[in-house]
Amino acid sequence: MPSSLRLLLISTPVGPLGSGLGGGVELTLINVVQGLRARGHQVTVLAPEGSQLGTVPIVQIPGQLQPTAHTQGRNTPITIPDNSVLGNMWRYAQRQQDQFDVIVNFAYDWLPFYLTEFFCTPVAHFVTMGSLSDAMDGAIDQVAQDYPNRLGAYTRTQAETFGVADAFAILSSAIDLDLYDFCASPGNALAWLGRISPEKGLEDALEAAAMAQAPLKILGKLEDADYWHRLCDRFPGAADCYLGFLPTHELQQVLRQCRALVMTPRWVEAFGNVAIEALACGVPVIAYARGGPAEIVQSGKTGWLVPPDDVQGLVDAIAAIDRLDRRACRLQAETDYSLEALAIRFEQWFYTILSTR
Ligand code: HBI
């Protein structure tokens, strides 16, 4: 088994890297590339033209971007635009496949999954969202049947939405811990981080903070203006709590001073990067026991898991924050969510694929 693997990582076709259109995939890609390179692997990235990924060289592929999957319904048919960048990226991969030991797909799209059986070089798929459409479920299920070790996901909960969880390698996520500074003695505010949109359940955090008489700092992209206005009508002080959408350096300067992060997801978060950002600062996480956060928070040690949608449970957890050890939070981030830990999980996945060929 070669100690240095030749890896081709193929990005999402919904937008160039660096445009933000790829959401969490951009963060995952840059972290995986950095970590795998640090471990001596040769990594090539294939992405739509106009992509930028730090100093990582990228093979830029032209063509029409793919419509995004997370805004379409369950029985939306597969569409491939004329001169599709997705098709162009996979034609390049097919022609160059002999140069690589493993090809890794990061697109949440039907074509790469369908092409799996037509490649000689093993194609692995990192799935970046939960179940969204019947067509994608079918494509993923086909790979699960024919190549059970070729699927990867952030969390088991996310994998379970496809009904074939045992076919997935659970790879979790990571952040660059050097960007987050530990804080041992916080102020008395709580933090809430995320897109301001109904599925994130901000109203419960506002209600629990009011009941606990604790200040709340709200940070994140104001995505749904109508929803935000309804919240401001119901919680008059909410607008004063909102600090905007800050870049990582400023975000962590606010976050590290907080007593705890409150996470109130209404939907199954595939992962929940804000939870590991908090842990990296020594900030414990109070979260509904739903989706990714339920697999991150060590309840009673690095935070508290609360029955989903139970606001009084949040208030009880807020009263018990001081029983948690902030250093244990930072330690969990260093142990489980460093770039090296992520790269080791991906490397192990590739070796498993290559050894069971
Ligand atoms: N939609 N069609 C499509 N393909 C993707 O790769 C994709 C997407 N929507 C959102 C998305 N990727 C990423 O933002 C998430 O996977 C994180």
Give residue-wise pLDDT tens across range 148-180: 899 999 999 999 999 999 999 999 999 999 999
Quote the ligand 1 centre to 235 CA distance (angstroms).
33
Other CB atoms within a 10 A radius of the CB of residue 38 amount to: 11
Same domain for 246 and 145: no
Same domain for 347 and 239: no
Mutate which of 11, 12, 127, 199 for ligand 1 pocket (most atoms within 8 A of beta carbon): 12
| Domain hosting residue 300, numbered range | 177-336
Cα 8 to Cα 27: distance, rounded to the nearest angstrom: 17
- Across the range 55-60, mean pLDDT stands at 90
Quote the ligand 1 centre to 71 CA distance (angstroms).
10
Quote the ligand 1 centre to 18 CA distance (angstroms).
14
Does residue 11 belong to any structural domain of this protein?
yes
Residue nearest atom 7 in ligand 1 by C-alpha distance: 108
Same domain for 77 and 134: yes
Same domain for 169 and 23: yes
Does residue 79 belong to any structural domain of this protein?
yes
Same domain for 350 and 213: no
When pLDDT is cut at 50, 70 and 90, the band that residue 25 belongs to is confident
For the CA of 24, the closest atom of ligand 1 is 17
CATH code of residue 219: 3.40.50.2000
Same domain for 17 and 158: yes
Q: Give a three-class secondary structure readout of the chain.
A: CCCCCEEEEECCCCCCCCCCCCCHHHHHHHHHHHHHHHCCCEEEEEEECCCCCCCCCEEEECCECCCCHHHCCCCCCCCCCCCEHHHHHHHHHHHHHHHCCEEEECCCCHHHHHHHHHCCCCEEEEECCCCCCHHHHHHHHHHHHHCCCCEEECCHHHHHCCCCHHHEEECCCCCCHHHCCCCCCCCCCEEEECCCCHHHCHHHHHHHHHHHCCCEEEECCCCCHHHHHHHHHHCCCHHHHECCCCCHHHHHHHHCCCCEEEECCCCCCCCCHHHHHHHHCCCCEEEECCCHHHHHCCECCCEEEECCCCHHHHHHHHHCHHHCCHHHHHHHHHHHCCHHHHHHHHHHHHHHHHHCC
Does residue 261 belong to any structural domain of this protein?
yes
325-340 pLDDT tens trace: 999 999 999 999 999 9
For the CA of 69, the closest atom of ligand 1 is 1
For the CA of 129, the closest atom of ligand 1 is 16
Does residue 115 belong to any structural domain of this protein?
yes
Same domain for 163 and 300: no
Quote the ligand 1 centre to 74 CA distance (angstroms).
15
Same domain for 344 and 322: no
Same domain for 145 and 50: yes
Residues within a 6 A CB radius of ligand 1: 12, 14, 22-25, 66, 68-70, 107-109, 128-129
Average pLDDT, whole number, for the chain? 95
Same domain for 348 and 304: no
Does residue 166 belong to any structural domain of this protein?
yes
Quote the ligand 1 centre to 277 CA distance (angstroms).
22
C-alpha to C-alpha distances, 193 to 13, 157, 218, nearest whole angstrom: 27, 21, 6
Does residue 1 belong to any structural domain of this protein?
no
Quote the ligand 1 centre to 139 CA distance (angstroms).
15
pLDDT at 146 over 90: yes
For the CA of 67, the closest atom of ligand 1 is 2
174-218 pLDDT tens trace: 999 999 999 999 999 999 999 999 989 999 999 999 999 999 999
State how many domains the chain has: 2
Q: What are phi and psi of 287, to 5 degrees?
A: -140, 145
- Which residues neighbour 226 within 8 Å (Cβ) at sequence distance 6 or greater? none
For the CA of 68, the closest atom of ligand 1 is 1
* Confidence (pTM): 0.89
For the CA of 23, the closest atom of ligand 1 is 14
Same domain for 121 and 237: no
251-307 pLDDT tens trace: 999 999 999 999 999 988 889 999 999 999 999 999 999 999 999 999 999 999 999
- Which one, of 158, 159, 157, lies nearest residue 149 by Cα? 159
Same domain for 141 and 284: no
Quote the pLDDT of residue 53.
Answer: 86
Quote the ligand 1 centre to 148 CA distance (angstroms).
22
Quote the ligand 1 centre to 350 CA distance (angstroms).
23
Quote the pLDDT of residue 148.
Answer: 87
Does residue 145 belong to any structural domain of this protein?
yes
